[in-house]
Amino acid sequence: MRFAMMDGRAVLLTGERQERVVDVAQRSGGRFANDPAALLADWDALREWAAGLP
């Protein structure tokens, strides 16, 4: 899993070759902001949430 920005939005790249793009704010139902700085400040919670992604 990798953390990235796409079209100004925070995303996670998942899959064997990071081929899947997950919009963090959208997929989390607003639990996490679209602001990368805010996500980094809550990194442990983001990683825990992301561990459940397919």
pLDDT confidence of residue 54: 75
Residue with tokens 């400040």: 41
Q: What is the pLDDT along the chain (54 residues), one digit of tens a residue?
A: 889 999 989 999 988 888 899 999 999 999 999 988 889 899 999 999 999 887
Helix (H, G, I), strand (E, B) or coil at 11: strand
pLDDT confidence of residue 45: 95
Q: Comparing C-alpha atoms, which of 2, 9, 6, 1 is closest to residue 36?
A: 9
Q: Where exactly are the structural domains of the chain?
A: 2-50
pTM score, whole prediction: 0.83
pLDDT confidence of residue 11: 94
pLDDT confidence of residue 18: 82
Q: Comparing C-alpha atoms, which of 33, 36, 35, 9 is closest to residue 23?
A: 9
pLDDT confidence of residue 43: 92
Residue 11 near residue 4 (C-beta atoms within 8 A): yes
Q: Following CA atoms 11, 21, 47, 32 in sequence, which dihedral angle do they give, to the nearest 10 degrees?
A: 40
